[in-house]
A and B are shown apart, each in its own frame.
Chain A
Amino acid sequence: MRKNSIAGYAVGALLGLGLTGTVSAAECIAPANPGGGWDFTCRTIGKIMHDIGVVDKPVQVTNMAGGGGGLAFNHVVNERNEDADLIVAASSATATRLAQDAYGGLKADQVRFLGAIGADPGVIVVAKDSPYQSLTDLIDSVKADPGSVTFAGGSAVGGFDHLKVLMALGRAGFTDIRKVKYIGLDGGADALTQTIGGHTQAMTGDISEVVGFLKADDVRVLAVMTEERVPGFEHILTAREQGIDVVAVNWRGLYVPRGISEDDYRKWSDALATVAASSEWAAAMKANGLAPFTKVGPDFQDYVNKVVGEIEQLSRKIGVIE
């Protein structure tokens, strides 16, 4: 997070557009720099909303990097609580941070979750020349000698990439999580580079992060953490098929301010549902390695509440929160 922000933090140049007060068109806040998942969510969904005519004017994307999404969350809760023209990109990382109380005391119920319309499936990846052929190989090895495997991921310790590994190991009956070796790098590509270079044994991340390397035949995906195999990647077994009952996807969705009217909430959720059903979105998902995952409206709110609860419990267990 941190080094990425060194990056285009500056990109907040765009941010100011949102602060000038003359917001007539709808605005989508991506709480990170351009290039990441949140930015993709805003730009793609915003563009499709306009292309298929569910909004009149192009959706303006504002990048507001900071605090792992906390700055934007804070901004929405405290300054834009009744802004009906505002949508904000969210993902599993948002839920994770809320569960871990990483937004300065703000809670998930201070905004309304609108919906998710796609998900980046979690994967466990090893280098091409790795001795591990399947997820069970890898997990058996961790069970036999936890010191023999270091996992690399794009999030900090306690972040979603790390939790995925812990959940998978937990389902396989390995619960001594303090022994699991994990290092957090600056993004999935970096974690993958370390793994291909042989410095770490396995990488945990999202499927979109490994597509290029997979095509170049540099890596082997041991398992994808979805219920069904991912379209376009049918040769990759799910964790479930290998007897590890874990589903972990990085969903891509939106939230809106708490204080908007029921009508406005319905208007946005209808718009999002229309996007989800569009062929444009199907194409965008395919191009970016996203799997279908549509939950819109109150359903999604329930889902987020459930996930936040689960992560909170797990985080308490591993000591990320007290």
Chain B
Amino acid sequence: MDILANLTQGFAVALTPTTLMLAVGGCFLGTVIGSLPGLGPSNGVAILIPLAFSLGLDATQALVLMTAVYYGAMYGGRISSILLNIPGDEPALMTTLDGYPMARQGRAADALVLSGVASFVGAFLATIGLMLMAPLLARVAYLFGPAEYFALYLLAFCTLGGLTSRNQAKAVFAAALGLAIAMIGLDNQTGIPRLTFGAIHLMDGVDFLVAIVGLFAVAEVFIFIEGHGRGSAIGTSLGRLTIPVRDIVASFGAMLRATAIGFVAGILPGAGASLGSFLAYMGEKAMARHDKETFGTGNPRGVAAPEAGNNAAAGGALVPMLTLGVPGSGTTAVLLALLLTLDITPGPLLFDERPEVVWGLIAALLISNFVLLIMNVPMVRLFVRILSVPPWLLLPGITMISFSGIYSLSGSGFDLILMIIFGILGYVLRKLDVPTVPIILGILLGNNMEDSLRRAMVISDGDWTYLFSSGIAVGLWLAAIAGFVAPLFLRSLLKRPEKAAD
């Protein structure tokens, strides 16, 4: 078949000793960058653009290196999520929810292996999806107008209610706080600054990386210093490294479902990996029957789902990037920049005009995936050692890395101060049992949600029925309503047995 012939050609281009070495090096570097708080895939790819040029790589080699770093960083983000409760980058946010509790129970290695396998499943299947139907899938982006996007974001926020089972007011407050922060900056629809109080640093809004690193990494430092490390996973005794076969088998269905959700979220420009991992996690939790309460306390499926979801989304995001030139996520924006610098213009004709590039890229993705899987299992041994680094060295180290990463965003002290404020906020919120994940989601998705609603209202001249004008939109609304009502309804059903357990 055509695809096989193309793929063979792709592998012929990508499978040379040099490119393989680049793939291995890129995967390693990507994993390290991804795992460092404040440094995400976009950093990794961006740092490598100049490197690719100074090494004098040709287009295919540069692409292999980039995709290796890209996927490596997507794999790596989970490591600090699981070990330290600090997401290495924003798509790894959801992995903290069950990954860190697992680490505290001494199952850090299990969580790392399981999430590594889940990452592989998500990324591998997404690459296959990209390969088989990218030009077709590009059409999906055409189906999504402002009304559909609004319903999609609404769905994400409506399922937030199911995130925590305790005080709903606090979860809703957290989301509102995130949204409130998202409003800061230039208003996309009028070009007028909002809530910036004249500060030029706030014109572009608050960078979500500043918020993540502040709320998680800096807050973690305060928590640790307060309690001398009580309740931290640092110093937990480590079990023997085994492959958690039972967990992998038990959560395989979760991985497949999460892959499907993540891939679709990735295809839609603007939604991206964070939404993919979030919806994958919430979907898995909603589907759980008898062990719903264990989500958030170290349920292996709560580790597998978001990791499969975000890696699948990373693959899915390549679809609009390659076929439409629309970057679906931060990282693909940087990859797009790289392609442009290499004189490759993504667009509807890329698959026809530059097959060697596209199939070389796909082959590179497959290679990176296998390299990462093989590399990750033995590397887990190395990663879990992080927990045995004495805290007096580990915590200042994390702090310095976080500060340097954020400083490199804009080279100003402003972001650092903002990050410290987020750190204090994160500390207080955690004390008061307010979840911090919805804050990040609010910051990440708030503008998209507002913009799509306002665009829809411009198009329809303020006619609200436009929001329900397509089958996709109606379907998403129904799902959103189900996501909002179901937890309320189910909770009242579940309340009695829960009380009995108290």
Contact = CB atoms under 8 A, between A and B. Distances in A.
> Are chains A and B touching directly in their complex (CB below 8 angstroms)?
yes
Given A7-B42, A7-B327, A193-B142, A1 B189 contact: no
A70 B200 contact: yes
Given A6-B208, A43-B341, A213-B347, A156 B190 contact: yes
B270 A3 contact: yes
Interface string B388-423: 000000000000000000011111000000000000
B200 A8 contact: no
A124 to B, nearest CB: 18
B204 A197 contact: no
B169 to A, nearest CB: 29
Given A212-B325, A212-B345, A66 B204 contact: yes
Contacts of B347: 211-213, 215-216
Contacts of B454: 183
Contacts of B411: 12, 15-16, 19, 64
A35 B333 contact: yes
Interface string B317-330: 00010001111011
Contacts of B190: 156-158, 320
A66 B203 contact: yes
Interface stretch (A184-192, A225-233, A290-298): A184-192
Given A35-B336, A68-B203, A197-B144, A158 B186 contact: no
B42 A150 contact: no
B50 interface: yes
A311 B66 CA distance: 41
Contacts of B270: 3, 186, 190
Interface stretch (B119-127, B156-164, B288-296, B455-463): B455-463
B174 to A, nearest CB: 20
A68 B192 CA distance: 12
A300 interface: no
A181 B189 contact: no
Interface in A246-305: 287
Contacts of B447: 2-3
A194 interface: yes
A49 to B, nearest CB: 16
A13 B459 CA distance: 39
Given A10-B209, A156-B186, A320 B46 contact: no
B337 A189 contact: no
B69 to A, nearest CB: 13
A34 B330 contact: no
B34 interface: no
B42 A10 contact: yes
A159 B448 CA distance: 19
A41 interface: no
B189 A199 contact: no
B478 interface: no
Contact of A33 (B40, B145, B185, B337): B337
Contacts of B444: 6
A34 B338 CA distance: 8
B57 to A, nearest CB: 16
A204 interface: no
Given A12-B409, A33-B333, A156 B326 contact: no
B481 interface: no
A100 interface: yes
Contacts of A132: none
B247 interface: no
Interface residues of A, number: 67
Contacts of B409: 9-10, 12
A217 to B, nearest CB: 9
A71 B207 CA distance: 15
A218 interface: yes
B191 A34 contact: no
Interface string A5-36: 11111111111100100000000000001110
A320 B192 contact: yes
Interface centre among B141, B347, B349 (most CB of A within 10 A): B347
B204 A67 contact: yes
B349 A35 contact: no
Contacts of A158: 190-191
A301 to B, nearest CB: 25
Contacts of B43: 10-11, 13
A193 B269 contact: yes
A215 B347 CA distance: 9
A196 interface: yes
A34 B205 CA distance: 19
A104 B200 CA distance: 6
Contact of B340 (A3, A35, A192): A35
A189 B345 CA distance: 12
Contacts of A2: 185-186, 188, 204-205, 447
B191 A157 contact: yes
Contacts of B192: 320
Contact of A197 (B46, B47, B141): B141
B317 to A, nearest CB: 12
Contacts of B39: 10
B249 interface: no
B204 A34 contact: no
Interface in B198-221: 198, 200-201, 203-205, 207-209
A212 B189 contact: no
Nearest to A215: B349
B461 A183 contact: no
A65 B46 CA distance: 13
A10 B459 contact: no
A40 interface: yes
Specify which of B189, B205, B408 lies most central, judged by the most chain A CB atoms within 10 Å of its CB.
Answer: B408
B410 A182 contact: no
A320 B333 contact: no
A49 B448 CA distance: 40
Interface string B31-54: 000000001101101110110000
A320 B455 CA distance: 18
Contacts of B208: 6
B2 interface: no
A70 B204 CA distance: 10
Contacts of B340: 35, 40
B276 interface: no
A215 B325 CA distance: 14
19 contacts: A7-B331, A8-B42, A8-B334, A14-B46, A15-B408, A15-B410, A33-B334, A34-B46, A34-B49, A35-B340, A66-B204, A67-B201, A74-B200, A189-B324, A190-B326, A198-B145, A212-B349, A213-B347, A216-B347
Interface of B: 39-40, 42-43, 45-47, 49-50, 141-146, 185-192, 198, 200-201, 203-205, 207-209, 269-270, 320, 324-327, 329-331, 333-334, 336-338, 340-341, 343, 345-350, 407-411, 444, 447-448, 454-455, 458-459, 461
The 10 closest A-B pairs by CB, nearest first: A212-B347, A35-B337, A199-B145, A7-B333, A197-B142, A34-B337, A216-B348, A11-B46, A156-B191, A158-B191
Given A11-B43, A190-B269, 13 more contacts: A6-B207, A6-B330, A7-B329, A8-B330, A8-B334, A14-B50, A65-B204, A65-B410, A157-B189, A184-B188, A193-B320, A211-B345, A320-B191
